[in-house]
Structure formats: structure tokens, C-alpha cells
């Protein structure tokens, strides 16, 4: 992709098939991004020429696990990326660090690029535990994992900012993103790309794009509206 910042759209469990078809038409030629739709719609975006990712993968290689999607299956379809460790998966589906780590290993062994999500709750932020939480997640999730700055990306998503419209200041984001890079470099000798996610939208993207330490954005709700997502993509070129 020509875009110097990596833009990832996490569609979560949204859109019908008709809406997906209209979305693809409305996006015109703005394909300088990664689209992570519901599993059902992956083929439509691949056929339309998008780089795609899954919103998760199974912690199993394959087998009798009804409803799951394996890294191997995703790769065979033409998927490039997978999001792992999103706070919604951790909270609602009880995915702990050991599960996240298992998924990372499976993704990498199947040549999928991983977008690993880390971030703190509002309570952790208010009690000055943001960096403790993030360091714990990084060290637990990546323990024993062999990775490079090309196949593993970190996404900093403060949980309290996801879908709330609340966004940390540029200075706060820069501080945490720089901390993440330092932790990974010090412990794994890798200098990763780090994305920011959490209420990123078409109105604040220009301001957020001025943070030099941020290598891209993981976009939630705003990616569901083509005109908004187009503005985000173009604002970061």
C-alpha cells in the first residue's frame, strides 16, 4: 500500500450483504487500507481488490470446533491480516493472554500478519496503571513468540475510548505509543509499527495524524460509512 500510515477498518458485527455491496461501490477506488469485515463478507472485499484481515481466528489449527475459523482457512482464502486480542474478545469471550498468545503463534505460522490489540480500562487509567497493564499484556502475549516488525503490529486501543467519542490527547497517545515501542524493542529486539485506535473518526483524524510516533490507525465505527472512511484514508496519505 502506498499510504505511509497503515489504516485498518474493523467492521465488527455490522452490515448486511446488500449494505456490503453498496459499501464497496461507494468506496470507489479508495483501497489504500485494510478491511476487516465479518467472516461472511471476506470474499466480497477480496474480489473487489482490498487487502483484508479477519477480526479474530481460532486458537486451534483445525478440527471439530463448530463456528470457528482457523488461520489456515483464512490464509487459503487470501486473507493477509488478523486482529488478535481486541478488548471486546478479551472481555466478552473471556480470551486471556494465553489464548491470545496461542492465536498469535498460529497466525504467524500460517503467514498471517498479526495486529495485536492492547489497552487499559478507565479505572486503570484513573489509577495510573496504564503502562503496567500494557507492559503485562505485551510480555504475556508475546512470551516465546518469534516475530518481526513486518509480521506483527501493535494497536494501542484504550478501552475507555472505544466507541465513546473520548480520545486521549496527542501527548498522551504519543507517550503510550513510545512506551510500547520501547518495551517491545527492549524485550524482543524488534521495532514494531504501532497503530492508535479508539474513537478515531473523520473529524479528529487530521489532528491525530500529526503524532509522529503513530504508524497508523485501527478504525471502528467510522469505517462503516464510506465517506467518513475515505476522509480518514485520504487525510493520512
Of 86, 95, 120, 124, the active-site residue reads 86
| Cell numbers that stand for 179 in this block | 512506551
Distance between CA atoms of residues 171 and 78, nearest Å? 38
- pLDDT-based confidence at residue 94 (cuts at 50, 70, 90): very high
Helix (H, G, I), strand (E, B) or coil at 158: coil
CA distances from 135 to 30, 132, 142, 179, 228 (A): 36, 5, 11, 9, 33
- pLDDT-based confidence at residue 119 (cuts at 50, 70, 90): very high
pLDDT (0 to 100) of residue 93:
96
- pLDDT-based confidence at residue 3 (cuts at 50, 70, 90): low
Distance between CA atoms of residues 101 and 159, nearest Å? 20
Of 88, 95, 120, 157, the active-site residue reads 157
pLDDT at 25 exceeding the cut of 50: yes
Domains and CATH numbers, the chain: 6-235 (3.20.20.70)
Mean pLDDT to the nearest integer, 15-40:
95
- For 209-223, write each residue's pLDDT tens digit: 999 999 999 999 999
Mean pLDDT to the nearest integer, 108-122:
97
Residue that wins the pLDDT comparison between 144 and 166 = 144
pLDDT (0 to 100) of residue 162:
83
pLDDT at 131 exceeding the cut of 80: yes
pLDDT at 91 exceeding the cut of 80: yes
Q: Which residue, among 100, 94, 223, 111, has the nearest Cα to 154 in the 3D structure? A: 100
Mean pLDDT to the nearest integer, 101-110:
98
- For 69-83, write each residue's pLDDT tens digit: 999 999 999 999 999
Q: Are 110 and 75 in contact (CB under 8 A)?
A: yes
Q: Are 74 and 36 in contact (CB under 8 A)?
A: no
**157 is a catalytic site residue:** yes
pLDDT at 1 exceeding the cut of 60: no
Amino acid at each position: 500500500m502506498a499510504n505511509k500510515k497503515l489504516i485498518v477498518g474493523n467492521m465488527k458485527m455490522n452490515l448486511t450483504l446488500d449494505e456490503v455491496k453498496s459499501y464497496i461501490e461507494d468506496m470507489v477506488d479508495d483501497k489504500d487500507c485494510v478491511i476487516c469485515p465479518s467472516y461472511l463478507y471476506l470474499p466480497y472485499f477480496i474480489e473487489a481488490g482490498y487487502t483484508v484481515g479477519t477480526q479474530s481466528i481460532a486458537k486451534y489449527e483445525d478440527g471439530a470446533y463448530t463456528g470457528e475459523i482457523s488461520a489456515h482457512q483464512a490464509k487459503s482464502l487470501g486473507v493477509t491480516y488478523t486482529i488478535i486480542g481486541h478488548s471486546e474478545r478479551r472481555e466478552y469471550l473471556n480470551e486471556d493472554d494465553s489464548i491470545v498468545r496461542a492465536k498469535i503463534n498460529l497466525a504467524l505460522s500460517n503467514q498471517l500478519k498479526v495486529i495485536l490489540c492492547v489497552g487499559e480500562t478507565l479505572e486503570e487509567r484513573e489509577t495510573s496503571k496504564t503502562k503496567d497493564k500494557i507492559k503485562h499484556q505485551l510480555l504475556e502475549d508475546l512470551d516465546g513468540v518469534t516475530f518481526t516488525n513486518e509480521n506483527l503490529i501493535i494497536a494501542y486501543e484504550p478501552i475507555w475510548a472505544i466507541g465513546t467519542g473520548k480520545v486521549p490527547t496527542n501527548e498522551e497517545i504519543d507517550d503510550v505509543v513510545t512506551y510500547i515501542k520501547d518495551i517491545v524493542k527492549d524485550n524482543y529486539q524488534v521495532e514494531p509499527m504501532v497503530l492508535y485506535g479508539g474513537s478515531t473518526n473523520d473529524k479528529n483524524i487530521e489532528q491525530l495524524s500529526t503524532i509522529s510516533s503513530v504508524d497508523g490507525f485501527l478504525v471502528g465505527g467510522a469505517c462503516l460509512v464510506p465517506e467518513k472512511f475515505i476522509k480518514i484514508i485520504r487525510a493520512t496519505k
